[in-house]
Amino acid sequence: MEYYNLKTTEFHLKRAGIMGAGKPEKYFDVALAIRNLAETSNLKSGDRLPSETQLAAQYHCSHLTVRKALALLEKEQLIYKIPCRGTFMGEKHSTNVLLKNVIAFILPHNEMYYYQLFYEFSNRLWTHNLIPLLCVSVGDAAHDQKIFELAAKKMLAGIITVPNRKYRSLYRELHVPLLFFDDFIEDLEVPYVISDDAQGAVHVARYLHDLGHTRIAFVGDLADQAVRRRFDGLKSYCDQYKLLIPEKYIKWISSHQEWSYFAAQELFLLNAPPTAVICGNDTHAAGVMRYCREHRIAVPRDCSIMGFSDSALAEDLGISSVNQHSDRIAEALTKHMITLLNGQTPPQKTTIITDLLIRHTTAIAPRPVRTSRR
């Protein structure tokens, strides 16, 4: 790698008008110090420099001074910056010609709502001459690794994914624009777009409570952080209004529909089965619906069922659900990715407001069966 020549750099900078005559600015000293840091630390092309905050603390200067110093080094093509990812040694290389416009969209599992979101997103991406690449990892690390390898070879323009905490260190090393959706990782400065899941669940709980339901169950995927937030919203409402949710009414399952079917079986075999079931997503709601239909449990007369995400499945089956507004999420993801590709920084957090969509699976709570006295 080519570095500054200590004897000539100052002269050339003054000659180019980058630095005025007289005593060098503070940021010039910091730029030289960072250059020396790269040499002494044996940093190679593609290695990450310390953050601006760390550099400011190390050299006892302001963030503005550090930014000027980095801009100086970037002008000399000694470093390059990737918004929200960091500053790296070396000259920024152009991406592979064949895939330079490709945005990878990674889904964690085979959930209908995600496909609906991808459809909305891809329609917007094409208008910006960007090509969407759909990847479904289904928890297979080998699938995800291939995407990361493409990114490492600079063969992707960007990545949008539901974050997996197992890949925290891999996310840190990516040199392409990265966006999260549906979840986030606290210690990573990666922009993300999420729904107000907890508040959406509060609306559901309030609606069912107003209908007279007090025996409310929950069925959801324990590994899905968005579903966890929905449960937290339900629990916060129940705690506020002193509604008890017994442990036997809480069923943590996997993402597949058949598991919600078996969860429903356990719930409706209880001596006091729930009069309402809130599901972590529409797929789970469909599984509960199937069990009720096969066992002659009338919905919503005997039990109300509420889904979450308002997928095409909920619409087809007439399931009451929470509308996450996939069009607004897709719009935000597209806007933020374009911002990153333009070298700018989008907001760290974008929250999309949800609302209820009441269809045919919710109604007033059934009255308790009265037994005659003898």
Half-sphere exposure of residue 121, counting CA atoms within 13 Å on the CB side?
30
Q: Please tell me the predicted confidence (pLDDT) of residue 92.
A: 66
Mean pLDDT of 93-114: 74
Mean pLDDT of 120-145: 86
pLDDT tens-place string over residues 75-87: 888 888 877 778 8
102-195+327-352 belongs to which CATH class?
Answer: alpha beta
CATH classification number, 9-89, choose in 3.40.50.1820, 1.10.3720.10, 1.10.10.10, 1.20.58.1030: 1.10.10.10
DSSP tag of 249: G
Q: Is the pTM higher than 0.85? A: no
DSSP 90-157: SPPPPPPTTTTTEEEEEESS--HHHHHHHHHHHHHHHTTT-EEEEEE-TT-HHHHHHHHHHHHTT--S
CA-CA distance, 173 to 103, in Å (whole number)?
18
Mean pLDDT of 169-184: 91
pLDDT tens-place string over residues 302-360: 999 999 999 999 999 999 999 999 999 999 999 999 999 998 999 999 999 999 999 99
Q: What percent of the chain has pLDDT over 90?
A: 58
All CATH 1.10.10.10 domain ranges in the chain, comma separated: 9-89
Looking at the predicted structure, is the pLDDT value of residue 259 above 80? yes
**Which architecture, in CATH terms, is 197-324?**
3-Layer(aba) Sandwich (3.40)
Mean pLDDT of 134-156: 79
All CATH 3.40.50.2300 domain ranges in the chain, comma separated: 102-195+327-352, 197-324
Q: Please tell me the predicted confidence (pLDDT) of residue 139.
A: 67
pLDDT tens-place string over residues 216-247: 999 999 889 999 999 999 999 999 999 999 99
Mean pLDDT of 35-50: 84
Give 118 or 255, the one with higher predicted confidence: 118
